[in-house]
Structure 1
Amino acid sequence: MSACAEHEPLLRLLHSGAAASALRRLLDTHGGAAAALAAGRRDWASHGVDAVACTALLRPDAAALARSLSWLEAPTHHLLGWGDAAYPPLLRRIASPPAMLFVAGDADLLWRPTVAIVGSRTATAGGRVNAGHFAAALARAGLCIGSGLAAGIDAAAHQATLDAGGMTVAVLGTGPDIAYPARHRALMARIAEAGAVVSEHPPGTQPLRTHFPSRNRILVGLSLGIVVVEAAIRSGALITARLAGDAGREVFALPGSIHNPMARGCHRLIREGAALVETPTEVAETLAPLVRDLVRGLRGELASCPVEPEREAAGLPDLPDINRLWEALGHDPTGMDELLDRSGLTAAAVSSMLLALELEGRVAAEHGRYSRIGV
């Protein structure tokens, strides 16, 4: 099946404007987008698709579909549907996960342990320095850094992570092809090349005020915890922090001067129970058990059986698929596409196993290429 044929049913569902909850129910019931589309108007309505969306499903916007299909023709552009094995597992667990995601860049990063760094768009110079310091240090510790590409703290976190050679994910409130603010177009392109740009909105979607709280829930859903660097009392960063608390994520806040209005939101979060942190190490140490739990959970999704005695003696992981991946790896850095070809495994499986091997100190990762450490 061609990429266009595979994506078009999902895109028709998305472009209908139906609520994500209704689309998830349709996909769960019918097992795929094509079957959901074939079910008909009465079935759509029974799953919560409103009348306007039902009409849009019957008479799709050809121009909008063509724009999305054209965007997906790029080899580094992806569409992850609710039923896809590659859909990020942590994101599935939030109260209102998106029915599908557009991703520019490395979609496998959405499986990695991530910490979100957020804060004021009008951050102070000191706030930007702190955001960059935390981002670079946590990235060097192996965590992926998530943020929202906004001015101020977000941009500082993304930039510092890239400069440190780390992994970063930008979650947008626009389509995956629209930088907001526009002056961050070059930064967004750099993130798409070295990390991942994510949106639940189709290409061409312009920034709307209502999109950004919705964007924040995705950032929270992809993250194990969130660090608020600077925030006013009334700010999007505080909304994001409260979403994180509601989702059971760790919430950290940096204290500041009592004379800095951008510190007052952080002080309120601390009074409400957020962890006061002064160093990146405090964040990394708190998240370490959650990272281990995440890795165990990902590995638990893979079928296990005993390995040959010589592999056990060599100390290799006890999963047969990891043995296949280990054989595919060499001491020279190897890209993901080549590993998929050599191993015959799915991208989602390889990504989770590489994460486990990397955290065990058996694999080195640099700029999207992987190599063995040791024998």
Structure 2
Amino acid sequence: MRAVDCDADEIAAWLRLLETPQVGRESARRLLTAFGSPQAVLAASEARRKEVIGAVAARALSQAGDGHDALLRLTLEWLAKTDGPQRHLVALGDPDYPAALLETADPPLLLYAIGRVELLRGESLAIVGSRNPTPQGRENAQAFAAELGRAGLTIVSGLALGIDGAAHTGALENAASTVAVVGTGLDRAYPKSHLALARRIADEGLIVSEYSLGTPPLAENFPQRNRIIAGLSRGTLVVEAALQSGSLITARLAVEAGREVFAIPGSIHSPQSKGCHALIKQGAKLVEAARDILEELRWPGLDDAVANTKTTTPSAEHPIVEAMGYDPISLDELVNRTGWSAAELNVRLLELELDGVVARLPGQCFQRIGQG
């Protein structure tokens, strides 16, 4: 449903069905199966609805809730805006509804979307990971997203801080672009520090949500949105994740949907590598380059797709970089390994930092960064 052809009565029926508190997604799905459309659900008698979802939920649908009219007005105004990227409502059964989600156990019944809605029908890969990545993790996410995007895969992620943001940024380099699946209403910016990134994605990619306008960033909504990230994608790449990371929820949901899971290994000493290592032990494919993913997906034109991709292998030309190895390292340990004074090391490390070869971490630690 686009702004030019949206039907106010149809939208009102969808909002009644999905926003009535006593009616959950499963009940709404059963009603749609039984009656065919939201309008038919509301037109049915309470007695007939009761046969499908029980008395309490059936009765709740008999009249609109207190906030229904205000939400309908807000939604229609949002759809009608002509400045900026186009806005859409994509309902189950619409031509724009992504076929990949239909293969999952719990597809969203209605998606709010802003941007290039055709990206929902493209081939895509999810990239997720820690909100607090290492510099190398952030670099890997952006580089993998750019390379996979050049091969023609749309990158799906959740617009969160850290790995998600880096993945979206890398993907925006290419025409295949990126889809951000968020856990708020599309009239809300979350996190606020990603407002500029969200605007760029809306202009050049697509932002989607199953949550109605005005929905704030509630903690329980983010694990739910992860099923959409996993369901849209042919596979999920976890770049960095702690053992309790929400990214592992996305990986589990990908497995449940019959999709591939990929993980980048890291330092055995880094907490941010523990989740990826656990996934690899459980059968996720260990990947070191974009080619590994493309080969597993049997991507057409593989050799052409990766012929001009960048390498993420860190530079080893400078003796300090060689001495650092691949784990974060303290200044004191670098003194021990190189025999240089702390003062001299600080000067050289600043030069390497400005060159983008080394990243400075909290606690006077440093880490080499992959170069492309």
TM-score (norm 1): 0.74
Specify the code of the residue in structure 2 equivalent to 1:15.
E
Which residue number in structure 1 is paired with residue 71 of structure 2?
64
State the Cα distance separating 1:157 from its structure 2 match: 0.4
Query: Kindly tell me: are residues 253 and 291 of structure 1, through their superposed partners in 2, closer, same or farther at Cα, counting changes over 3 Å?
Result: farther
State the Cα distance separating 1:19 from its structure 2 match: 1.4
Which residue number in structure 2 is paired with residue 4 of structure 1?
8
Say if 2:220 is the partner of 1:210: yes
Structure 1 regions of 5+ residues with no counterpart? 293-375
Within 5 Å, give how 1:1-375 maps onto structure 2: 3-17=7-21, 18-48=23-53, 51=56, 54-55=59-60, 58-60=63-65, 61-74=68-81, 76-288=86-298
- Partner SS for 2:186: coil
Output the CA distance in 1 between the equivalents of 2:50 and 2:157.
36
Output the CA distance in 1 between the equivalents of 2:165 and 2:292.
22
Output the CA distance in 1 between the equivalents of 2:182 and 2:157.
9
Query: Kindly tell me: are residues 2 and 255 of structure 1, through their superposed partners in 2, closer, same or farther at Cα, counting changes over 3 Å?
Result: closer
Q: CA RMSD in A?
A: 2.1
CA-to-partner distance for each residue in 1:4-55, whole Å, 9 max, x for gaps? 2342221221221321122222223222221111113233333326726742
Asked if structure 2 preserves the Cα contact closer than 8 Å seen for 1:132 and 1:159, the reply is yes
Which residue number in structure 2 is paired with residue 346 of structure 1?
none
CA-to-partner distance for each residue in 1:134-171, whole Å, 9 max, x for gaps? 00000000000000000000000001111344410000
Output the CA distance in 2 between the equivalents of 1:175 and 1:291.
39
Output the CA distance in 1 between the equivalents of 2:301 and 2:110.
25
Would you tell me which structure has more helix in proportion to its own residues?
1
State the Cα distance separating 1:272 from its structure 2 match: 0.6
CA-to-partner distance for each residue in 1:293-349, whole Å, 9 max, x for gaps? xxxxxxxxxxxxxxxxxxxxxxxxxxxxxxxxxxxxxxxxxxxxxxxxxxxxxxxxx
Instruction: Point out the structure with max Rg over C-alpha.
Output: 2
- Partner SS for 1:97: coil
Corresponding pairs, count:
292
Query: Kindly tell me: are residues 126 and 21 of structure 1, through their superposed partners in 2, closer, same or farther at Cα, counting changes over 3 Å?
Result: same
Output the CA distance in 1 between the equivalents of 2:284 and 2:176.
26
Structure 2 regions of 5+ residues with no counterpart? 303-372
Output the CA distance in 2 between the equivalents of 1:241 and 1:62.
39
- Partner SS for 1:197: strand
Output the CA distance in 2 between the equivalents of 1:241 and 1:291.
27
Query: Kindly tell me: are residues 51 and 182 of structure 1, through their superposed partners in 2, closer, same or farther at Cα, counting changes over 3 Å?
Result: farther
Output the CA distance in 1 between the equivalents of 2:102 and 2:37.
17
Output the CA distance in 1 between the equivalents of 2:57 and 2:300.
42
Output the CA distance in 2 between the equivalents of 1:229 and 1:14.
34
Asked if structure 2 preserves the Cα contact closer than 8 Å seen for 1:19 and 1:49, the reply is no
Moved over 4 A (4+): 289-292
Which residue number in structure 1 is paired with residue 308 of structure 2?
none
State the Cα distance separating 1:270 from its structure 2 match: 0.3
Query: Kindly tell me: are residues 184 and 57 of structure 1, through their superposed partners in 2, closer, same or farther at Cα, counting changes over 3 Å?
Result: farther
TM-score (norm 2): 0.74
Query: Kindly tell me: are residues 56 and 62 of structure 1, through their superposed partners in 2, closer, same or farther at Cα, counting changes over 3 Å?
Result: farther
CA-to-partner distance for each residue in 1:255-309, whole Å, 9 max, x for gaps? 00111110010001001100000001111121136999xxxxxxxxxxxxxxxxx
- Partner SS for 2:269: coil
Asked if structure 1 preserves the Cα contact closer than 8 Å seen for 2:46 and 2:58, the reply is no
Asked if structure 2 preserves the Cα contact closer than 8 Å seen for 1:238 and 1:265, the reply is yes
Output the CA distance in 2 between the equivalents of 1:49 and 1:220.
32
State the Cα distance separating 1:57 from its structure 2 match: 5.1
Which stretch shows the higher mean deviation, 94-103 or 69-78? 69-78
State the Cα distance separating 1:201 from its structure 2 match: 0.4
Asked if structure 2 preserves the Cα contact closer than 8 Å seen for 1:13 and 1:57, the reply is no
- Partner SS for 2:53: coil
